[in-house]
Amino acid sequence: MTILSRSAVLADGLSTGVFLLGPEAGMALLKRVPEVDGVVVTSTNEVLTTPGLTGRLQMVARPTDAP
């Protein structure tokens, strides 16, 4: 997970909240907070991003399960 914010304290707090809420509810939270974006990779390797990052990131390799 990656949280982008102008405030490190806000990003840290949100990352904890998103982790505890889980991918879907966590992403819903991030979408409601102004000037915050994030990326979450689910346990099934689905990559979720907030709308503010659409078109701004390039995936160079798909996530894989660790050996």
Query: Which distant-in-sequence residues (6+ apart) come within 8 Å of 27 by Cβ?
Result: 18, 38, 40, 48, 50
Using N-to-C axis directions, what is the helix angle for 8-21 and 23-32, rounded to 10°?
150
Q: What is the structure's pLDDT at 66? A: 64
Token pair listed for 50: 């907030």
Q: How far apart are CA 5 and CA 34, in angstroms?
A: 9
For residue 38, report the phi and psi dihedrals to the nearest 5 degrees.
-165, 165
pLDDT 10s digits, 17-26: 999 999 999 9
Under-70 pLDDT residues of the chain: 66-67
Residues 6+ apart with CB under 8 A from 64: 45
Q: Tell me, what's the pLDDT at 67? A: 62
